[in-house]
Amino acid sequence: MNNNFVPRWKLRLRRRRKKRLIRLLLFFLIFAVIIFILLQFKTVKNEPVEVKTPAVAGVRDEQTDRSSLKAVVENSLLETKGNYGVVIKNLKTGESYLINEHRVFDAASLYKLWVMAAVYNQIQSGKLNPDQVLSEDIAVLNKDFFIEPDKAELTDGAVTLTVDSALTQMITISHNYAALLLTKQIRLAKVEAFLKENGFKESKVGTSGALPKVTPFDIALFLEKLYKSELADQENSQKMIELLKNQKISDGLPDYLPDKQSSEPVAVAHKTGDIEGFKHDAGIVFTGKGDYIVVIMSESTSPAGAGERIALLSKAVFDYFNKK
């Protein structure tokens, strides 16, 4: 008798057992894979996620929900024919959006922000008195600041103002000779030193007839430092903000925002700039839901159209922040 002979029924039984074992192993393998995937998903879900955005000297701190604010700005700038530089920053949440923030523009009257801060620094240190009377011949100012006769607003007479009055006229009505009077008093070198001391690396005061240059980034940085009382003590910082709130040229940022007669009035501390093809407005908007910075600088062949675009963009940003 052959000892190696195995009945067929036993072979079938062995095959069935083998198949069951394979099925059981496959089941446990699939079950283990499912458990592993679930554990991995739970770990990722519970792990805190850090969103890293570029941080540049206090302006680009945080960009939460960036795409929505991005859409607001870009939709407002659709079909523009000029060049725009924009910085928006919510000072409460840090949410921000920037476009062409490092583009260099002619500063126009935005340079008066630097003069204002440098003068208040001298008032704070006791080197200047707000009631001190300053006086200079127009012709001397034109010569000192390389203003050609055909481009001079005034050519004769004199300008005489107290420091306080000169500050008020320089900011609220953008009086050019009030600005020159103050600059001559404190000297252009002091304004240049102010820029360096406060990290405004992209700003140039302009010398030997060259026009002042600035970027939206530096102006936004200036406004944030002013808001945080980093350019002067709290008292003088507040005086500067109040001066900017009294701006009389209001066809830009504040144009379509709620005014003082509104149930929820909005205050805008801002400074405009307008020279040839350049149209700018930059400021801090104070609202019940949080304060924010808006800097809009433009270069175009239609400054009037740019002014309207600035006002519309300002309104769109206001609506965005106040409907959240």
| E strand or H helix at 183 | helix 176-186
Share of the chain above pLDDT 90, in %: 71
CA distances 196 to 125, 201, 214, 247, Å, are 19, 7, 13, 27
Q: What is the mean pLDDT of residues 257-282?
A: 91
Residue 93 lies in a domain: yes
Q: What is the mean pLDDT of the chain?
A: 87
pLDDT at 323: 86
CA distance 276 to 300: 9
pLDDT at 207: 77
Share of the chain above pLDDT 70, in %: 80
Residue 158 lies in a domain: yes
> Is residue 140 scored above 80 in pLDDT?
yes
Count of the separate structural domains present in the chain: 1
Residue 295 lies in a domain: yes
Q: Name the residue with higher pLDDT: 11 or 80.
A: 80
Domain span including residue 96: 66-322
CA distance 258 to 23: 73
CATH number for the domain that contains residue 295: 3.40.710.10
pLDDT at 209: 72
Give 144-182 pLDDT, tens digit per residue: 999 999 889 999 999 999 999 999 999 999 999 999 999
Residue 142 lies in a domain: yes
pLDDT at 2: 47
Residue 77 lies in a domain: yes
> Is residue 65 scored above 60 in pLDDT?
no
For residue 175, count CB atoms less than 10 angstroms from its CB and return exposed for 0-12, middle for 13-18, buried for 19 or more: buried
Instruction: Give bridge partners of residue 267 from the DSSP assignment.
Output: 286
CA distance 141 to 138: 5
Cα–Cα–Cα angle for 241, 243, 247, nearest 5°?
A: 110
* Token code pair at residue 29: 């393998």
> Is residue 48 scored above 90 in pLDDT?
no
Question: Model pTM greater than 0.95?
Answer: no
pLDDT at 283: 99
Q: What is the mean pLDDT of residues 115-126?
A: 98
Residue 55 lies in a domain: no
Contact 180, 145 (CB under 8 A): yes
Q: Name the residue with higher pLDDT: 23 or 257.
A: 257
Give 186-245 pLDDT, tens digit per residue: 999 999 999 999 999 999 998 777 899 999 999 999 999 999 999 999 999 999 999 999
pLDDT at 85: 98
Interacting residues of 244 by C-beta distance below 8 A, sequence separation 6+:
171, 269, 270, 271, 283, 284
Residue 162 lies in a domain: yes
Residue 37 lies in a domain: no
> Is residue 294 scored above 70 in pLDDT?
yes
Q: Name the residue with higher pLDDT: 34 or 71.
A: 71
Amino acid letter, residue 174: S
